[in-house]
Structure 1
Amino acid sequence: MAKTSTLEKHLRNQYLPIFQKMMGMSMAKAKRTFKDLFTKVTEEAGNEDTMNLPPDLGDMLLEKESTDKKVETVLAQKRAEGVRDQNIRWWWNMHDLERRMMSKVDEVFIYALFLRFTKEEGLSAAEANERIRKVRPMFGDPADSRYGRGNDRPLPDELRQRVNTYMTRRAQQDPEGLKRDAEACSSFNAFIRKEIKVGNV
C-alpha cells in the first residue's frame, strides 16, 4: 500500500501540471481528473491481477526471448514495428499503474480533441476521428484493425517515448515541415512508420 501511495504521489506531481498547461484545467479540476483516472487504473489492475508484476519485467522478457517461443514471437512482432531493446525495457520496467495511467491520459487528450473538432469546429464524429488520426499518434495493439489497417494501425506502446521525443524535436525545429510531412500521409501513424523506416525516429 505504501508503495502504491508513493507512486500515486509521483504520478500526481507528473500529471497535474500537464492537465493545467495542456488542457487548461483549474487545479481543482486537474486534481479531480487525476483522482478519477488513478482510481480507474487501480481497479483495472486489481481486476486483471497485474498490480504486482516484476519491476524488471522488460529485462525478464529480453532474457526469455532466446528460450521462450511465445516471448520470441511477441517480441519479433514488436521489432517488426521498429521497437528496440531499450524501448521494451522502458515500457515494461515501468510499474503497471504507470503504464495504465499513460494510456488513460492519452485517451483523455484524444477525447478532448474529439470534443473540440465536433463542438467547436462542427465536424461529424467520423470526420473528427479521421482528423485526430491525421494530427496525432495512436498507440495500442498493432493487430487491432478497428482504428486502421496497414500503416494506419496503432503503434506499439513501447514506441511512445521515442515518438514523443521525435515529435517534440520536430515541433521545435521545423513545425511547418512536421505538419506538411504528416499531412502528406494517410495518418500520423503512417507518417511515423515512414520516419521509423528511414531512421528518423
Structure 2
Amino acid sequence: MGLLSRLFTKKSPPSPREQQLEREFIPIIMKDIATKEEAQLIFQKLLKEVKADIASKPDMPLNMGDYLLKNEKNNARISKMLEKRRLFGVTDDQIREWWNKDELERGLIKKFSEFQRMAIYSMLKSQGMSAKEARKKVMMCFPTYGEKDLSLHLPYEIKEKVDNYIYALLSNPQTADATRQQIEAAGSVNDFIVEKIDQGVL
C-alpha cells in the first residue's frame, strides 16, 4: 500500500468489546510498563496480532467450553484433548471458564503472557547473559502455558490459579526463599507446579 493510500485509509473504530478489553488490560500491562501511553501501544500491538490470528483460522463456536464439555463423551478428539488437561487437575468449571471467554480475550491473555517472558528474556540478554542462560532464568521466573503441547507447558485453564499461587508464595517473606529454592531444585517453575499438582497441594 502506497503512502497516499495509507494516509487516506480510515481505520475501523474499536468495537465496544475491544474498548472493554483495553480498559481491563491496561492496568495489568502497567504493572510492568512505566506509562499509560506505552501500555496502550503494547495493547494495540497485541490486539492487532490477535485479530490477525483469529482471521487466519476457522470460526469457533461461542461458549466453546460448554461445547467441549457437552461433546466430550461422544467425540474422541475432544475427549483426548480434555483428558490431557485433567492430568493437571483441570476441572469442568476451569474448562468452561477458559474456553467460554471469547477469542479476543483468550488471545490477549496468551499474547501478553508471551510478551512478559520475551521482555525479561531480552532484558537478561542485554545485561550480558547468553541465550541459554537467559532462557533458563526465564523458566525459573515464569510458568509457560499452552493449548496444544502440554508435554512442555501447563494448560491455560489453570493459569489464574497457578499465577495466584506463585504470587502468594513469592510475595510472602515467610515462604519466598523456600519457594525459590524449591523452584531451583525442580528445574523450572513449570516442574515445581507439576510437583505441587502431583502432591495434591495445588
The alignment's TM-score, normalised by the length of structure 2, stands at: 0.85
Which is worse superposed, 65-74 or 187-196? 65-74
> Offset at 1:193?
0.3
Unaligned stretches of 5+ residues in structure 2 = 1-13
From 103, 121, 129, give the equivalent of 1:123: 129
How is 1:80-91 mapped onto 2 (pairs within 5 angstroms)? 80-91=87-98
Which is worse superposed, 175-184 or 104-113? 175-184
Unaligned stretches of 5+ residues in structure 1 = 145-149
Once the two structures are superposed, what CA deviation does each residue of 1:108-160 show, in whole Å capped at 9, x if it has no partner?
Answer: 1011101221112x11011101111122101114637xxxxx6xx21112121
* More helix by percentage: 1
Once the two structures are superposed, what CA deviation does each residue of 1:58-77 show, in whole Å capped at 9, x if it has no partner?
Answer: 11211111122221111111
Query: What's the Cα RMSD here?
Result: 1.8
How is 1:7-22 mapped onto 2 (pairs within 5 angstroms)? 7-22=17-32
Contact 1:134–1:186 (Cα < 8 Å) also in 2: yes
Contact 2:50–2:108 (Cα < 8 Å) also in 1: yes
Contact 1:118–1:125 (Cα < 8 Å) also in 2: yes
The alignment's TM-score, normalised by the length of structure 1, stands at: 0.86
> Offset at 1:19?
2.2
Contact 1:83–1:158 (Cα < 8 Å) also in 2: yes
Structure 2 residue identity aligned to 1:16: I
Report the Cα distance in structure 1 between the residues aligned to 2:19 and 2:201, rounded to whole angstroms: 35
Once the two structures are superposed, what CA deviation does each residue of 1:70-94 show, in whole Å capped at 9, x if it has no partner?
Answer: 2111111111232221211111010
Partner of 2:146: 140
**Which structure's CA Rg is the greater one?**
2
Partner of 1:158: 157
Q: How many residues align?
A: 187
Contact 2:33–2:39 (Cα < 8 Å) also in 1: no
Structure 2 residue identity aligned to 1:21: K
